[in-house]
Amino acid sequence: MKASEERVGDQNNMPTEKPEQTRLDVGDSSRLLNGWRLRSVTLSIALAMFLVNIEVSIVATSLVSIVNDLQGFDRIGWVVTSYLITYTSLIIIWSKFSNAFGRKTCMICTLFIFVAFSGGCGGSQSMTQLIICRAFQGIGAAGCVSLGLTIAYEMVPQHDYPKYAAILSSVSALGSLVGPLIGGAFSERVSWRWIFLINVPFGFAVCILLLVSIPNGFPYQGQEISHSRTGVRDSPLASARSLDILGSFCLLGASLLLVTALLEAGATFTWRSAPTISLFTLSGILWIAFLLQECHLSRSRYKITEPIFPWEFFKNRAWMGTLLLSMFSGAPYIVAIIDIPQRFQTFGVNEFGAGVRLIPFNLLIALGAVVVNIIAGKSRIPPIFLLLVGVVCQVIGVCLLSSITTTTTVPSAIYAYQILTGLGIGIMFGLCLVLPPAVIDNKDFALCAGAVLQFRVFGGALGLAVASTVGNNYITTQLQHLLPPDQLSLVLKSTGATSLLPEPVRHRVIEILVHSYNQRMRVLIGFTAAQLIALAMLWRRPQISLVRNDSTASNPNLAGDDGDEASSHANTN
């Protein structure tokens, strides 16, 4: 092993180890998996990501049954958002924890948390209990997705990234595809509680599979490679001291307070009330504190504590563009899988039927992610042009979804709108997973993979919070002059209360509900259009490419001054 390292160092005319370097050598084949281990770990990661992603969409067709049972339509947004807040805030944090305590240990730990609180969700007796358990369920989900993608990066060579990105993207999209069907079937024929309880047996089975298949010490098995910047392998306790606890607290607190303010303003509190202003103010202070903390740690001469979001990220225009693309594409995905089934259920379609009608959207996300990775991996088309196609599809699709005005039934054209929007989202999801190695130095696979996913989920949580606020404010404003306070309260707690209203009033209430969905969709026009700005940040001459140049691959010295970029397989045509 040492001899091979010396040969690699001589060939590249540079030392094999850098004291300030924390990344794995992507050219070191000793860390790669093969045979039964590769197949078993791939299956384990795929199943874990399937279970996690299904939890976002499986709730979509079950929300009506949940809020009817637990009496809390005015808090319906929290059933999804409480999951997304912790999911959003902890993806990068779990990535950093895995550097200290190991990929295998953290992956199993996160899956166990997810499974345990899935059981708690299934046993909840109130909306408060369900929201709290969903928040803890999101903690486990964040680690499952972040570490699953990290392990996938580290177990295969770089030229296999598009293939594995296609596999994981399609698995995630499959979860979104079957989630509404499973949720609708359980809610209609058994109980909504089984949409959570089903995770328990399958989750424990995946835990056992991960325990058996992932090598101990992965991806450092058989290597003397440091977990830290000192060049010496630290103990887990010493590595834990390098975690950015303050930055993690600021990131979690800022995200939580911001989403809370957006969800509660206009519902529990007025926009100009002291609680709303306080939430926004405290969130802003924590965001500033987070940025100052990351800047301080990144520029400190003594690298004792490692930042969870290095300041160098802000200086890399292409990398920030990738993160913003991931964030802005998360909003239409989350809002659409919640709103489309509810739109159908407003007109009397049952839960399972609403899930069936969401198939075109989720199917095109899966197909889009797979096809775009095949095209990107086999052709020399720069990703920026493929991403532009995805953005255009999303903008047009969302505009069309926000234009539905019929108040007696859902037009069949909605399926074409779903196909167009889903295709655009699938393209974005698929490419954002494979872009990081092409635009940044691979100092930390875990951090980079976690950042892409964290921005996506944060965008989804932010988009859902804004859309829910706009929709709820519209409904309250329109209905307060139409219904007495007691009937308005019933409608806000459960859409099923509309069946108790007299016919002329009932028709008007349904009309208002339909228009509220359009109001929520119009919020997404801004999120999708903003992707054009993020896309412009990826523009360079020559363009970024995911296909390796043979000359650069065969002779790393051709990279010249861009050695870091070449070493991470960032190639341009």
pLDDT digit string, tens, across residues 488-526: 766 665 555 666 677 788 888 888 888 888 888 898 999
Query: What value does the mean pLDDT of the chain take?
Result: 77
Q: At residue 396, does pLDDT exceed 90? A: yes
Q: With bands split at pLDDT 50, 70 and 90, how would you rate the model's confidence at 145?
A: confident
Q: Which pLDDT belongs to residue 1?
A: 42
Per-residue pLDDT, 424: 92
Q: DSSP characters for 225-263? A: --SSSSSSPPPHHHHHTTS-HHHHHHHHHHHHHHHHHHH
**pLDDT > 70 fraction of the chain, expressed in percent and rounded:** 78
Report whether pLDDT(151) > 90: no
Instruction: Tell me the two tokens of residue 403.
Output: 């234009």
Number of H helices, E strands in the chain: 24, 2
* Dihedrals phi, psi of 21, to nearest 5 degrees: -105, 130
pLDDT at 268 > cutoff 70: no
Given this model, what pLDDT does residue 36 score? 85
Q: Could you read off the pLDDT of 211-240 as tens digits, one per residue?
A: 888 888 787 765 554 444 433 445 555 555
When pLDDT is averaged across residues 310-333 and rounded to a whole number, the result is 87
Q: Tokens 């802000």 identify what position? A: 314
Output the pLDDT for position 28. 52
- pLDDT reported for residue 312: 79
- Per-residue pLDDT, 446: 57
Strand pairing partners for 545? Answer: 571
Tell me: pLDDT of 14 over 50.
no
Average pLDDT rounded to a whole number, residues 339-360: 81
pLDDT tens track for 534-557: 999 888 878 777 665 544 443 333
CA distance 45 to 49: 6
Please tell me the least confidently modeled range out of 198-212, 272-286, 377-391, 441-455: 441-455
Which range (6-10, 255-259, 510-514, 521-525) has the least confidence? Answer: 6-10
Q: In the prediction, which pLDDT does 547 show?
A: 60
Average pLDDT over residues 158-187: 76
Q: pLDDT value at position 400?
A: 92
Q: Note the pLDDT of residue 286.
A: 93
Q: What share of the chain is helix, strand, coil (3-state, %, to 5)?
A: 75, 0, 25
So what's the pLDDT on residue 560?
32
How confident is residue 21, by pLDDT bands cut at 50, 70 and 90?
Answer: very low
| pLDDT reading at 454 higher than 50 | yes
Q: Which pLDDT value is given to residue 238?
A: 56
Closest CA to 58 of 167, 192, 225, 149: 192
pLDDT, tens digit, for every residue of 76-121?
Answer: 667 877 887 787 677 777 877 787 788 888 899 999 999 999 999 9
By C-alpha distance, which of 378, 419, 379, 381 is closest to 397? 419
Task: Calculate what percentage of the chain has a pLDDT beyond 90.
Answer: 12
Task: Say which amino acid occupies 449.
Answer: A
Q: Residue 548: what pLDDT?
A: 54
Please give the residue that has the higher pLDDT: either 449 or 534. Answer: 534
Per-residue pLDDT at 252: 80
405: CB partners within 8 A, 6+ apart: 514, 518
pLDDT of residue 175: 76
Outline where 16-126 has alpha helix (H).
Answer: 35-57, 63-70, 76-101, 103-122
Residue 173 has pLDDT above 80, yes or no: no
Angle between helices 76-101 and 445-479 (to 10 degrees): 170
Report whether pLDDT(571) > 70.
Answer: no
Q: What are phi and psi of 572, to 5 degrees?
A: -130, 150
Predicted confidence (pLDDT) at residue 453 exceeds the cutoff of 50 = yes
Which amino acid type is present at position 206?
V
Q: Is 35 left (phi over 0), alpha (psi -120 to 50) or beta?
A: left
In the CATH scheme, what is the code of domain 32-217+308-545?
1.20.1250.20
Choose among 136, 146, 86: nearest CA to 114: 136
Residue that is written with structure tokens 């995630």 in the block: 172
DSSP conformation letters of 285-299? HHHHHHHHHHHHHHH
**Token pair for residue 318?**
């292409």
The mean pLDDT of 247-267, rounded to a whole number, is: 77
Q: According to the model, what pLDDT value does residue 295 have?
A: 87
Cβ neighbours of residue 392 closer than 8 Å, sequence gap 6 or more? 424
DSSP state of 496: G
pLDDT above 90 for 288: yes
Range of lowest pLDDT (424-438, 521-535, 555-569): 555-569
pLDDT of residue 116: 93
Statement: the pTM of the whole predicted model exceeds 0.75? no
Cβ neighbours of residue 460 under 8 Å, at least 6 residues apart? 56, 84, 88, 330, 331, 333, 334, 335
Residue 282 has pLDDT above 70, yes or no: yes
Separation of CA 87 from chain center: 8
What amino acid is encoded at 330 in this protein? G
Q: For residue 450, give the nearest of 1, 168, 114, 89 by alpha carbon.
A: 89
User: Averaged over 441-462, what is the pLDDT?
Assistant: 73
Rounded mean pLDDT, 385-394: 92
More confident residue, 71 or 426: 426
Q: Which residue has the higher pLDDT, 308 or 74?
A: 308
Domain ranges of the chain: 32-217+308-545, 244-307
Rounded CA separation 510/29 (Å): 61
CA distances from 132 to 120, 263, 414, 472 (A): 9, 16, 35, 22
